[in-house]
Amino acid sequence: MPLKWVFHGGVSAPHRKNTAESETSVLDIPEKVVIPMVQHIGAPCTPTVKPGDTVKVGQKIGDSEAYVSAPIHSSVSGTVTRVEPMLFAGGNLVMSVEIKTDGKQEVYEGISPPEIKNREDFLKAVRSSGLVGLGGAGFPTHVKLNPPKDKVIDCLIVNGAECEPYITSDYREMLENPDGIIEGIKLVLDYLSIPKAIMGIEDNKPKAYKLLKEKAQNDNRISVQSLRSRYPQGAEKTLVYALTGRKIPSGKLPADVGCVVLNVNTVAFIASYVKTGMPLVQRRVTVDGPVVNQPKNVLAPIGTSLQTLFDFCGGFKSTPYKVLMGGPMMGIAQYSLETSVIKNTNAILAFDKKEGDLPSEWPCIRCGRCVEACPMNLLPLEINRLVLANKIDELERYHILDCIECGSCSYSCPSKRHLVQSIRIGKDAVRRLKVNRN
């Protein structure tokens, strides 16, 4: 059945899903891993191990008492060699734990399936698992599943859109573990008393749509919908609108319109954890880009270096000009290949100069294409003008904090204005302004 609701704006970016039919390859255990204590939105973790300690797979090595946080576990067995600030994916130094692996991959003795009898047990188990949103945002899942008591959730939205070019890690989960996805959805519905779930899958993934629809047919609480392939279909606000017709107001969250949104990998991991008790210690990563010799989907321990992943994929055809963690629309450029895979890393991409170079800006011709492309109904050209003029106090009137940084404005701009880059600068300035006011 065709969907009634179509979100405003967006762009038709080329899909380039080169690894869509690439079954997941398992990486050999690397000689060492570097596990940052910042792998989620919220408070960073404090290391619970020190140099010289021996650790095993699944053992907790970092945690925080803050509510918005999630514990971090060792992905390997071996010896802790360093606990100190190390280079992070964002280009800054972050407290990290380096572990020299012993190749044994011994599982920590405390690993066992959690005992779950009620909602509170379920939320506690999700936190203990270290789960954060695996679609890229990295929000602690136990927090998302526990909205304020005045928010009544009546719909679980399951995100199978995967709208960014190149990335296929969600697609492979849908093909390789459909039963796990359905099982995870049922667990969330049962323990949180949510009456229904809607899974959205873009129409460029017909095999996944057909398979999940078949798997869900025996549970009338779960429906699977085909979405039009248009970037950024997978963003929370656009996805909720496309599947339910509900509009999330400015500054609000899906819970404000009765929804909670989880990625397909996130719900599948919940099912896995409830069955095994093994925390989140590995991640499927799409390794692709024009200069990668053998693009693949790779299952890698958290903390694996980008260099190790690229080596596993046959190295480079030529020296990469730019490496991104994430997709080409929202990914973060990497300073070094020594940075690590973290929980929400769904792709690493390597580009040559032709595709990776940032084009020169030309003056705005006020054509309005950025306005047409913005899925949040913002005015990117005006926000850009205010940021460049350093008129920070005026940016809030233009709802700059509603920007999801999808990059649709920059992609559609014929003058190649660096719109999303300036918006990021403006958002940071507005946040600092708010802190100073308080």
Q: Per-residue pLDDT tens for 151-187?
A: 999 999 999 999 999 999 999 999 999 999 999 999 9
Helices of type H across 42-177: 119-128, 141-144, 169-176
Q: What's the pLDDT score for residue 436?
A: 85
pLDDT at 5: 77
Known binding-site residue numbers: 364, 367, 370, 374, 403, 406, 409, 413
Q: Residue 107: what are its φ and ψ, rounded to 5°?
A: -85, 135
Sign of the CA dihedral with 142 first, then 144, 145, and 148 last? positive
Q: Looking at 289-381, which runs of residues are DSSP E strands?
A: 296-301, 322-325, 332-333, 347-351
When pLDDT is cut at 50, 70 and 90, the band that residue 17 belongs to is very high
Mean pLDDT of the chain: 95
Which positions make up the binding site for [4Fe-4S] cluster? 364, 367, 370, 374, 403, 406, 409, 413
pLDDT digits (tens, 9 = 90+) for 286-307: 999 999 999 999 999 999 999 9
Q: What percent of the chain has pLDDT over 90?
A: 92
CB 209 within 8 A of CB 215: no
Per-residue pLDDT for 246 more than 60?
yes
Sign of CA dihedral 177, 183, 187, 189: positive
pLDDT at 91: 85
The domains found in the chain, sorted by start residue, are: 117-274 (3.40.50.11540), 367-435 (no CATH)
d(CA 354, CA 318) in angstroms, rounded, equals 12
User: Crossing angle of helices 264-276/169-176, nearest 10°?
Assistant: 50
With vertex at residue 325, the alpha carbon angle to CA 324 and CA 327, rounded to the nearest 5 degrees, is: 75
- Cα–Cα distance for residue pair 348/354, rounded to 1 Å: 18
Q: What is the CB-side half-sphere exposure of residue 384 using CA atoms within 13 A?
A: 20
Confidence of residue 89 (pLDDT cuts 50, 70, 90): confident
Instruction: Pick 350 or 393 by higher pLDDT.
Output: 350
How far apart, in whole angstroms, are the C-alpha atoms of residue 70 and residue 127?
6
**What is d(CA 284, CA 296) in angstroms, rounded to the nearest whole number?**
10
What are the C-alpha distances in Å from 412 to residues 10, 18, 61, 127, 191? 9, 23, 44, 40, 43
Q: Distance between the two ends of the chain, CA-based, in angstroms?
A: 50
pTM for this model (two decimals): 0.94
Measured CA to CA, the distance from residue 251 to residue 401 in angstroms comes to: 8
- pLDDT value, residue 7: 85
Q: Residue 383, SS3?
A: helix
- Give the pLDDT confidence score for residue 268 in this predicted structure: 98
Please give the pLDDT value at position 138. Answer: 84
Task: Indicate the helix (H) or strand (E) that contains 276.
Answer: helix 264-276
